[in-house]
Structure 1
Amino acid sequence: MEQDVLVLPDEGDGVRVIVCSGEFDQGTLEPLRQACAPAVADPAVRRIVLDVSRIAFAGCSMLNTMLYLLRSGRLVLAGPLPRSLARVLELTQADRLFTVAAGVEEARTL
């Protein structure tokens, strides 16, 4: 399956939205890491919204990347969570660590 990472244009509200679609495992995470690094490094970004609603598969490497983003203190996941990602979060009990919004617009305002 094709994989895509898209950083949406900033709207001047301090929110960086990164949209993920496709399969994310150890071999396909580099584009996501490259998209996230500038957001984590930029103090003007007060919230990082990771739109995970179009993820078809998420392995433990994806979880590690999400935990890295979570350590910034600014991560909100925009769902709904796909079954594979929800399962990884549930199995690792990481589901209680993440703030999950129903969609991107809700995530912007949390």
Structure 2
Amino acid sequence: MDQRVQVLPDEDGVRVIVCGGEFDQDSLGLLREAGTAAVEDPGVRRIVLDVTAVAFADSSMLNLMLFLLRSGRLVLAGPVPDRLGRLLDVTAVRALFITADGVEAARSL
């Protein structure tokens, strides 16, 4: 399964996690590790999850996104891809997520 997870260097307490490819329960490990580390780091005041290159996401990724959201520090960097957007719409949670147009906009919120 084609995927990538990259954690960019923190800037002013903002941690950016770039993810791309397909994410399901079997392939979520690296993204879960990166997200959990961000939530547990008291120096991180904002977590930016760049989802622009997500090709597929199932309920496992949605659960991880909700976990990050509960930290009160999550901003999605979009635009949100159609397939991920449909998952957010079908589960009626899209409105819960703050979404910015790109990483730099998300950093500045």
Question: TM-score, normalised to structure 1's length?
Answer: 0.96
Please tell me whether residue 90 in structure 1 is matched to residue 89 in structure 2.
Answer: yes
SS of the residue 1:50 aligns to: strand
Please tell me whether residue 8 in structure 1 is matched to residue 2 in structure 2.
Answer: no
Offset, 1:9: 1.2
Offset, 1:72: 0.3
Q: Percent identity?
A: 66
Q: Over residues 62-103 of structure 1, what are the superposed CA-to-partner deviations in whole Å (9 max), with x where a residue is unaligned?
A: 100000000000000000100110000000010010000010
Offset, 1:2: 1.0
- The 5-angstrom pairing of residues 1-110 of structure 1 reads 1-11=1-11, 13-110=12-109
What's the RMSD between the two structures over aligned residues?
0.7
Distance in 2 (alpha carbons) for counterparts of 1:67 and 1:84 = 17
Distance in 1 (alpha carbons) for counterparts of 2:94 and 2:7 = 24
Match for 2:69: what amino acid? L
Distance in 1 (alpha carbons) for counterparts of 2:94 and 2:20 = 20
Gaps of 5+ in 1: none
Match for 1:62: what amino acid? M
Once superposed, which parts of structure 1, at least 4 consecutive aligned residues long, lie more than 4 Å away? none
Match for 1:46: what amino acid? R
SS of the residue 2:76 aligns to: strand
Distance in 2 (alpha carbons) for counterparts of 1:10 and 1:48 = 10
Gaps of 5+ in 2: none
Offset, 1:10: 1.5
Aligned residues: 109
Offset, 1:106: 0.3
Offset, 1:60: 1.0
